[in-house]
């Protein structure tokens, strides 16, 4: 035992003094000449450095070594280099002095920025991150002369904002080498420092009525005395460390909560740095994690985001191979199963499935299995359709932590079952602390205190490790975990994988957990539905283009055996759906990179300014003759119409047809033109509605003309949509200054600053008018710097009014919206999401209701009463709201951080107002155009392809009877079978349905029910039916739940 002084510290009288004594004894700033910290390092000698500047170019190890050898210049501590994001390589030559061969020594290297250590063999060793003190590299004592290389990236780990991390990037930053030395190192002193830190934390954070609170201080105080009185002898150091370990090993009670420790290093694929820099962040962090796992056998480490694995394989192949080897023991695990950690609200349903399809394939390649855990810790809210989508793609567990950021309401659970809108449930866990924990006593205790499901469950995750390039776990975290794994008074710590955690929850708590139904709405970052509107517009456009292109490829495959996967094009889009790119919360340079990717995709996929689809050749077809004719493409499961030269043309369902073969439809046209003008404004009228607009472009009255008979069968129904005195299509501008997160947040108080642009119109002109179509042009002055031009139009054959809008936007911290007050009273509004819709409150009864003042929707929102309603359609917007009877679309913001040019310039977008009698699923007009179908057509213009290589029309290969609510969303070539197609369907009306799917092609031999990974689940019997007109027709019967998604694997005869 430690020899103790006869004097005992009176802690009950002066606890504060003893606490501060311990603090100063291990301080990095005070009394280093005589405290314990001052003995961590011994003698030092400088190392030799050579430097070469590669500018903005990322180079291979081989080239870097060659250039250093030929042109490297000697530098020393104090050397300054830059600018931001440039690449600098250093050669480090180490000579271990005589007499140091029996001493432990380390290389201390701080180049002032992120860096990666390379060995002589060209393999990455570990990363350096000075802001977390990761500047120490263990060096073997032999040989006496050693050489390593350092790849330095001239940037800070958490961005290079000018004065603040989320300010625009300072592109001319300079960096300095602060340390480059070989130094003696005392491992036992380091162990003691960790001992003291933990005992100090225990004394601070355990309650005063806990005996361990005082015991930790007594022991720490006695250890200081022992070390001082023995002049810090090795024996006394060893004795004190053993005494501390005895204290830590005093076991916990069986009832103590267990924290499942999972190492990770959450790395944003782009944010305050570009995609290119993320490639290096991954290498630095994962190399460090592998190095640590060599010495800590129980450590587990979770990796997400398949795109980052692909980058690693391409840029750092030896590190990728080392990680594959480490994955064999099950401690290095893949989680998430997605291409990137995408935004959880704005990607459409097919995009979300592709995130998981391509992500899971890459995880299988790397780890040998698919992930069971969907991992999305940092996304700004979670769609109510995610439970079904993740389960459809092989994942039955979900982990996130972001919900703890909500400003107003605390989410009531940490372990629970989450139910989506179709009824799918997934077991969900929110780690109660953070996803970058350090395994401190404070964090462990807070995990217990914050855990809201105590009594229902007694385990929680602790995700630890420095993120965003900080290297993930470090050795001090693992050493703390060793001491605290079963330490009385502290939650138990168990190294585990996410699968092991969920298996334990299922075994012990499966029937005891609560359930949450619907979306996980984050009460923060809700301005991200609107910021950087150009990115959002391109996302919506490319999603539609890929859908059309895959239909073309699928039809080519079924007709002639060609057709290829568009996986490469999809992966480009999926990358830009990362949760700081699509939301618009990245620096300007990331926005530029994202827009370059979109422009490349548009060039790959389209011709004629996007009006036509560029034929993408498959290997089998690229040499065949192509007809120069225009072939019109309809990738929808219903016929579509469009005007051409005043003829209304019909395009059959799922068809590719030459323009000159399309048949005209007869339409009852009025004798008068659609538009009339008087002193008060304009009137637009067709057989569906009458709309009055004033000279400022605002709707003053809209009357819907219903079907010939209402539900009672005795009179034509009408609906006055705009109440007297109200103005719809009213532009409003708000002051938009959040508390901190400029691009992310819009606070509720912005609604108090509403300023309507009531009489801002400077010009109103009827520019086109006929019995087929009318269009009115309005010019609006938003401010001295910003203007708006809008064309309000009505077609004879459509039941909605369209607003094509161009804005020149030059504002600062302003928010532009458009309002439609309607004559409808409903407690809920409906909003389009992936594969369905959700209802949200229009009132502010509770704090949960009031928090949803800005919400996400895709192509439409609607407000309905019995037998009537109104919908707003849009072609590229996501931010929406409904306050009482006032429906709003959020149009443009003007944030200044992290991109001070965000949204400045010209914007083009369109929205439409669709009032109706009947329901939004079945409006009472002769188009029978549901809001869902109208919104789809509004977003997906009819395009053509020049030179359809099959050179014959095709139509209605697949058709559905039984329910208009079940739609075929995707027809594509199979990823893995050249003789198979994938057909994806979903129910969009919100009610169960039985349908018959007709299969009109001789090559179809079987149909399997499949999952989102295109794996067969069960065979579906095919029923053969005779048809006098078309010969035999095959079909299958399918039953759908409300909002259910089904994937079919259709196998074809080989050609």
Q: Which residues are catalytic?
A: 378
- Concatenate the DSSP letters of all residues of 670-682 into one string: -SS-SEEEETTEE
Alpha carbon distance 141, 151 (integer Å): 24
For residue 552, count other CB atoms closer than 10 A to its CB. 23
Q: Which of 1044, 1046, 1048 is nearest to 1034 (CA)?
A: 1048
Q: Whole-angstrom Cα distance, residue 948 to residue 624?
A: 11
CA distance 827 to 839: 9
Residue among 49, 53, 27, 51 nearest 40 (CA): 27
**Cβ contacts of 28 within 8 Å, gap of 6 or more:** 37
DSSP readout, 774-812? Answer: EEEEEEEE-SSS-EEEEEEEEETT-SSEEEEEEEEE--S
- Distance CA(389)–CA(832), nearest Å, equals 16
Supply the DSSP symbol for 529. Answer: G
Please say whether the beta carbons of 183 and 44 come within 8 A.
yes
Would you say the C-alpha torsion 188, 191, 196, 197 has a positive or negative sign?
positive
Sheet strands (E) in 12-129: 41-46, 48-53, 73-75, 80-81, 87-95, 105-110, 114-118, 124-128
Nearby residues of 70 by Cβ (< 8 Å), 6 or more positions away: none
Tokens encoding 899: 């991109």
Strands 397-399 and 373-375: parallel
Q: Which strand (E) or helix (H) includes residue 944?
A: strand 943-946
List 959's β-bridge partners, or say none: 998
Place of tokens 């975990």: 481
Backbone angles phi, psi at 45, to 5 degrees: -140, 145
CB 798 within 8 A of CB 935: no
Q: Give the pair of three-digit tokens for residue 316.
A: 């750092």
d(CA 864, CA 869): 4
If we measure between CA atoms, which residue out of 150, 142, 47, 135 comes closest to residue 94?
Answer: 47
User: Torsion angle of alpha carbons 239, 245, 248, 254, nearest 10°?
Assistant: -130
> Alpha-carbon Rg of the chain, whole angstroms?
33
What's the token pair of residue 558?
Answer: 């079924």
**Nearest one of 32, 488, 36 to 223, comparing CA atoms:** 36
Round to whole Å and give the CA distance between 905 and 634.
Answer: 34
Could you tell me the strand order of the sheet in which 145-153 lies?
Answer: 73-75, 48-53, 87-95, 145-153, 114-118, 124-128
Taking alpha carbons only, the member of 816, 806, 818, 908 closest to residue 861 is: 818
Q: How far is CA 527 from the centre of its chain?
A: 15
- Asked if 989 and 1054 count as a contact pair (C-beta separation under 8 A), the reply is no
> Please, what is the end-to-end C-alpha distance for the chain in angstroms?
84
Please report how the helices 234-248 and 211-229 are oriented relative to each other, as an axis angle in degrees rounded to 10.
170
Q: Assess contact for 813 and 896: CB atoms under 8 A.
A: yes
Tokens of 161: 């904002």
Q: What is the arrangement of strands in the sheet containing 773-781, beginning at the earlier edge strand? A: 761-769, 773-781, 787-795, 801-809, 905-917, 868-874, 860-865, 828-833, 836-841
């Amino acid at each position: 035992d430690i020899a103790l002084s006869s004097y005992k510290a009176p802690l009950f009288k002066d606890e504060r003094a003893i606490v501060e004594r311990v603090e100063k004894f291990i301080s990095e700033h005070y009394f280093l000449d005589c405290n314990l910290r001052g003995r961590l390092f011994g003698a030092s000698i400088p190392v030799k450095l050579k430097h070469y500047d590669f500018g903005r170019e990322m180079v291979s190890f081989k080239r870097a070594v060659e250039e250093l050898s030929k042109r490297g210049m000697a530098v020393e501590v104090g050397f300054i280099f830059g600018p931001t994001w440039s690449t600098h390589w250093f050669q480090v030559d180490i000579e271990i002095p005589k007499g140091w061969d029996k001493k432990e020594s380390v290389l201390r290297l701080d180049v002032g920025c992120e860096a990666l250590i390379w060995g002589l063999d060209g393999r990455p060793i570990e990363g350096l991150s000075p802001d977390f003190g990761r500047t120490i590299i263990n060096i073997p004592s032999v040989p006496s002369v050693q050489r390593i290389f350092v790849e330095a990236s001239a940037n800070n780990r958490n961005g290079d904002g000018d004065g603040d991390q989320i300010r625009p990037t300072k592109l001319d930053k300079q960096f300095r080498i602060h340390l480059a030395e070989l130094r003696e190192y005392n491992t036992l002193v380091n162990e003691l420092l960790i001992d003291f830190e933990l005992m100090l934390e225990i004394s601070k954070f355990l309650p005063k009525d806990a005996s361990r609170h005082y015991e930790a201080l007594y022991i720490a105080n006695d250890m200081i005395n022992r070390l001082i009185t023995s002049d810090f002898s090795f024996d006394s150091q060893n004795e004190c460390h053993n005494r501390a370990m005895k204290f830590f090993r005093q076991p916990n009670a069986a009832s103590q909560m267990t924290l499942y420790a999972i190492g990770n290093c959450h790395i944003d694929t782009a944010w305050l740095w570009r995609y290119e820099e993320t490639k290096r962040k991954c290498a630095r962090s994962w190399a460090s994690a592998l190095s640590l796992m060599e010495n800590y056998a129980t450590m587990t480490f979770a990796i997400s985001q398949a795109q980052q694995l692909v980058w690693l394989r391409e840029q750092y192949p030896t590190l990728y191979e080392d990680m594959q080897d480490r994955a064999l023991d099950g401690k290095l695990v893949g989680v998430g199963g997605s291409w990137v950690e995408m935004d959880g609200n704005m990607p459409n349903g097919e995009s979300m499935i592709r995130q998981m399809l391509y992500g899971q394939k890459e995880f299988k390649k790397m780890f040998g299995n698919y992930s069971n855990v969907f991992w999305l810790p940092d996304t700004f809210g979670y769609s109510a359709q995610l439970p079904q989508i993740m389960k459809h793609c092989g994942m039955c567990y979900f982990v996130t932590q972001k919900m703890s950021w909500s400003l107003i309401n605390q989410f009531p659970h940490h372990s629970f079952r989450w139910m989506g809108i179709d009824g799918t449930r997934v077991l969900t866990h929110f780690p109660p602390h953070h996803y970058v924990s350090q395994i401190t006593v404070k964090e462990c205790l807070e995990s217990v205190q914050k855990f809201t499901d105590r009594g229902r469950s007694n385990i929680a995750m602790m995700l630890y490790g420095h993120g965003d390039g900080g290297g993930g776990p470090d050795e001090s975290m693992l050493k703390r975990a060793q001491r605290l794994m079963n330490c009385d008074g502290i939650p138990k710590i168990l190294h585990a994988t996410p699968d092991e955690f969920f298996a334990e929850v299922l075994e012990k708590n499966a029937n005891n957990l609560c359930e949450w139904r619907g979306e996980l709405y984050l009460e923060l970052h809700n301005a991200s539905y609107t910021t950087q509107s150009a990115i959002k517009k391109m996302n919506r456009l490319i999603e539609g283009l890929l859908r059309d292109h895959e239909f073309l490829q699928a039809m080519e495959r079924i007709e002639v055996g060609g057709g290829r996967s568009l996986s490469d094009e999809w992966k480009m889009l999926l990358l830009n759906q990362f949760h700081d790119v699509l939301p618009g919360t990245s620096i300007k340079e990331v926005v530029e990179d994202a827009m370059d990717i979109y422009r490349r995709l548009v060039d790959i996929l389209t011709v004629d300014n996007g009006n036509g689809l560029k034929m993408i050749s498959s290997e089998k077809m690229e040499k065949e003759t192509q007809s120069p004719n225009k072939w019109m493409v309809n990738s929808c499961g219903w016929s579509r119409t469009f005007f051409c030269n005043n003829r209304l043309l019909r395009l059959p369902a799922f068809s590719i047809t030459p323009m000159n073969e399309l048949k005209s439809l007869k339409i009852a046209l009025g004798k008068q033109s659609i538009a009339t003008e008087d002193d008060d404004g304009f009137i637009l009228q067709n057989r569906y509605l009458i709309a009055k607009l004033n000279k400022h472009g605002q709707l003053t009255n809209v009357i819907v003309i219903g079907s010939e008979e209402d539900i009672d069968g005795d009179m034509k129904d009408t609906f006055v949509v705009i109440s007297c005195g109200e103005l719809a299509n009213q532009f409003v501008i708000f002051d938009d200054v959040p508390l901190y997160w400029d691009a992310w947040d819009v606070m509720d108080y912005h609604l108090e600053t509403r300023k309507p642009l009531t009489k801002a119109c400077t010009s109103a002109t009827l520019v086109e008018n006929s019995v087929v179509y009318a269009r009115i042009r309005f010019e609006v002055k938003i401010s001295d710097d910003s203007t708006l031009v809008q064309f309000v139009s009505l077609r004879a054959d459509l039941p909605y009014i369209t607003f094509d809008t161009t804005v020149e936007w030059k504002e600062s911290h302003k928010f532009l919206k458009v309002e439609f007050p309607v004559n409808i009273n409903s407690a809920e509004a409906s909003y389009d999401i992936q594969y369905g819709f959700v209802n949200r409150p229009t009132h502010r009864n509770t704090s949960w209701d009031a928090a949803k003042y800005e919400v996400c929707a895709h192509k439409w929102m609607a407000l309905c009463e019995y037998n009537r309603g109104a919908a707003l359609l849009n072609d590229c917007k996501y931010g929406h709201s409904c306050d009482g009877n006032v429906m709003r679309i959020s149009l443009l913001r003007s944030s200044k951080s992290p991109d001070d040019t965000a949204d400045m310039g010209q914007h083009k977008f369109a929205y439409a107002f669709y009032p109706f009698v009947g329901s939004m699923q079945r409006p009472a007009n002769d188009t029978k155009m549901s809001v869902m179908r109208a919104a789809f057509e509004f977003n997906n213009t009819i395009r053509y392809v020049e030179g359809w290589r099959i050179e014959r029309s095709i139509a209605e290969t697949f058709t559905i009877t039984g329910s208009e609510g079940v739609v075929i969303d995707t027809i594509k070539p199979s990823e893995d079978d050249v003789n198979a197609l994938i057909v994806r369907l979903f129910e969009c009306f919100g009610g169960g349905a039985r349908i018959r799917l007709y299969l009109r092609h001789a090559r179809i031999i079987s149909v399997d029910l499949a999952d989102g990974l295109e794996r067969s689940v069960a065979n579906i019997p095919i029923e053969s039916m005779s048809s006098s007109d078309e010969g035999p027709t095959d079909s299958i019967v399918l039953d759908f739940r409300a909002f259910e998604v089904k994937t079919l694997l259709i196998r074809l005869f080989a050609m």
